[in-house]
A and B are shown apart, each in its own frame.
Chain A
Amino acid sequence: MAALPKRIIKETERLSKEPVPGISAVPHDDNLRYFDVTIDGPAQSPYEGTLLPPFGGVFKLELFLPDDYPMTPPKVRFLTKIYHPNIDRLGRICLDVLKSNWSPALQIRTILLSIQALLGAPNPDDPLANDVAQQWKEDQNQAIATAKEWTEKFAKA
């Protein structure tokens, strides 16, 4: 492997020195391009944790910086099960900035913020999980209830 680019070193440093509230990203010791990520579900969303035990609302993700990062976007996937129209059962995320709208001026920090924002603003019109999206459109209240239920069940800290 070639040496780790300065950009990745700097991003990693900044993530640990000036962390984003509600988001953490820690690289693996043996692979500095592979990050363990947690994102807190945003307030007033079905993915928010509870004030009292069991708290929860913490989603685990994995993030990998490919060899030609930042020319190509990081690869990000939810590890925690989540009920969301733009995230499928394998944890894959439908988000423009992770695909065609990626720009090298974006970074790990901004990408994770975008994902957090996606939790606060599900978009059933551009679905990845069709069944969830359909449920979302047909009976939004029920969908939100399911999302809350899944959050409680799976998104434990």
Chain B
Amino acid sequence: MVEDVAPQEYSEKGALAAHADARELVRLVQCPQCSKPFNAPVTLPCGHTACRSCLPNPVARTNISYPNTPDRLLGISCPLASCGAEHAAAECSVDVTLTKLMELIKNEVAKHLPLVADMPIHLQEILKWDGDVAMEENEKTEAKGNSRVLQGGRLVSTFVMAEMGDLRYSSEVEYKTLSDAHDDQDLNNALLERLRDAAQKELDCHVCYNMMLDPTTTSCGHTFCRRCLVRVMDHSSICPVCRRGLHIPASLQNKPSNTLLNALLNGLCPELVEARHRAVEAEEQGGDDDLNTPLFVCTLSLPTMPTFLHVFEPRYRLMMRRCVEGNRQFGMVMYNRNSAPQGDMGSTQFLEYGTLLEIVNLELLRDGRSFVETRGIGRFKIRRHGMLDGYHVARVERVEDLSLAEEGLLEQSETTVANEFAQRYQQDNPDMPLPLDVAINRFSTQELLDNCMTFIRQMRDASAPWLSARIVQVYGEPPEDPALFPYWFASVVPIAEEEKYSLLRTTRVRERLKIVYSWIRRIRGQRW
């Protein structure tokens, strides 16, 4: 058992240099098991890599029956010290990207060798002992290992020594140039440059065509950016390259990255890795700063009230993921079923007023769908909209109620006018009922609410099905705040959503209560 390659943070260290870091560079492509350059490398589910021939033979796993495919019933116990877990044989395929990289490296080295045929260099292996047992046996922590005289400058000779099997994975190397004619630095740099160019093509993700970011390797041995793989899994559960089924969707967030590819990327081009990180961060934030509210086009939601969503469409899976990573908020808007023009925007797919929702809880199912519990936190009107990765995004403007002072003045003037009118009307037409709007306008805001509350009590006494205990448990008891009562009422009352939608546009409490009151009158009319 040996230590694995230490993962590096992308911004921690600069690129490895061909001359100074020759040992480090070669170690990157050395198998920690056999110490030779990788041959048919397998990247294990734990993210570490070893040659296929260095893996122990698969043995039957005991007490495992799911998923029940033959190759999952065989286990390979991880030879790497930091892991030690038993991996399903099905998940130990040859790493396609690394295999290509190794071929490429071997080709470049072979091409390079003739150029440096007259540059002998003496390599002295310095063994590192880091186990406790070893410490007891050897007083010193360093000991001389193999020593070789090889052609080809530091980088190539170190690689050749590893190929010969004479350079242990954990060992360091001391170099002594035997020809004083040349300095091999330039040649080393040129080789590394060629390797870097050649490698870059292999290190592009097959989905986004960018350099792999957080490379994640599937059980079939194909590697993608983690976020690309996650998005692919929103749409299907097969590998984009070989179409083999992947049993990973929901747990992908916890799947370890390809440690070795990460180390290679960070070693060869840390500045590109960092640039990719920044680009992706900007992309995830939506690119267009202005259109910063993602829209879920689905149903009517109301402020302070819960909305429960079943998210299955790929585009909304992505949107939910981004929301959860961001401020957990998104806008809910209804479909524009009649293609009615929406203000300045013309006929859009959705209605222009909506409700900002906050994710309270997200239950991710195994297959990538999710159940999302949300709560309305405010209303908005859409100002501008666009698309982002298949879903709508918008710039929204909050819709707020008028100030309490204005609300008060409105109540005052409305009730006064209505009362005066009613007096005159009743004098002139003593037997006629008041016109409906006047009758409603005479009520004070509090009276409107009391009327609504009375209705709720009556309906409860009559055991109306839409006020069953289960519904009240979800939406709570009716709020006593007249500003909020209409939202609660609209959440429970069985009338068309298009009608309830009118509440979203209101900016006055009294106006909302009057809408609710008109619904109540209608329901009463239907019942009696």
- Chain A residues within CB distance 8 Å of chain B: 1-3, 5-7, 10-11, 66-68, 70-72, 103-105
Contact = CB atoms under 8 A, between A and B. Distances in A.
Interface in B270-294: 286-288
Contacts of A68: 314-315, 389-390
A104 B234 contact: no
A73 to B, nearest CB: 10
Contacts of B241: 103, 105
Interface residues of B, number: 25
Contact of B232 (A6, A10, A11, A104): A104
Contacts of B231: 71
A71 B234 contact: yes
Contacts of A72: 235, 390
Given A2-B287, A103-B240, A104-B240, A67 B390 contact: yes
B110 interface: no
A105 B210 contact: no
17 contacts: A1-B386, A2-B288, A2-B387, A6-B208, A6-B210, A7-B207, A7-B208, A7-B210, A71-B390, A72-B235, A103-B238, A103-B243, A104-B207, A104-B240, A105-B206, A105-B207, A105-B241
B483 interface: no
Contacts of A7: 207-210
B390 A3 contact: no
B286 A2 contact: yes
Nearest to A11: B209
A130 B232 CA distance: 34
B132 to A, nearest CB: 48
Contacts of A3: 287
Contacts of B287: 2-3
Contact of A70 (B207, B234, B388): B207
A145 B523 CA distance: 70
Given A2-B286, A71-B314, A105-B206, 19 more contacts: A1-B386, A2-B288, A2-B386, A3-B287, A5-B208, A7-B209, A11-B209, A66-B390, A67-B389, A68-B315, A70-B207, A71-B234, A71-B235, A71-B389, A72-B235, A72-B390, A104-B206, A104-B228, A104-B232
Interface of B: 206-210, 228, 231-232, 234-236, 238, 240-241, 243, 286-288, 314-315, 386-390
B232 A1 contact: no
Contacts of A67: 387-390
A6 B209 contact: yes
A71 B206 CA distance: 12
Nearest to A66: B390
Contacts of A10: 209
A106 to B, nearest CB: 8
Nearest to A105: B240
A72 to B, nearest CB: 7
Contacts of A6: 208-210
B389 A2 contact: yes
A109 B209 CA distance: 14
B70 to A, nearest CB: 26
Contacts of A11: 209
Contacts of B286: 2
Nearest to B231: A71
Nearest to A3: B287
A10 B389 CA distance: 18
A66 B314 CA distance: 14
Nearest to A107: B209
Contacts of B228: 104
A2 B391 CA distance: 11
Shortest beta-carbon contacts, A-B, top 8: A68-B390, A105-B240, A7-B209, A103-B240, A105-B206, A10-B209, A104-B240, A104-B207
Nearest to B241: A105
Nearest to A69: B390
Contacts of B209: 6-7, 10-11
A105 B207 CA distance: 6
Contacts of B240: 103-105
B5 to A, nearest CB: 28
A109 B241 CA distance: 15
A6, A10, A70, A71: most-surrounded residue (chain B CB, <10 A): A71
Nearest to A100: B236
A105 B241 CA distance: 6
Nearest to B222: A105
A122 B21 CA distance: 58
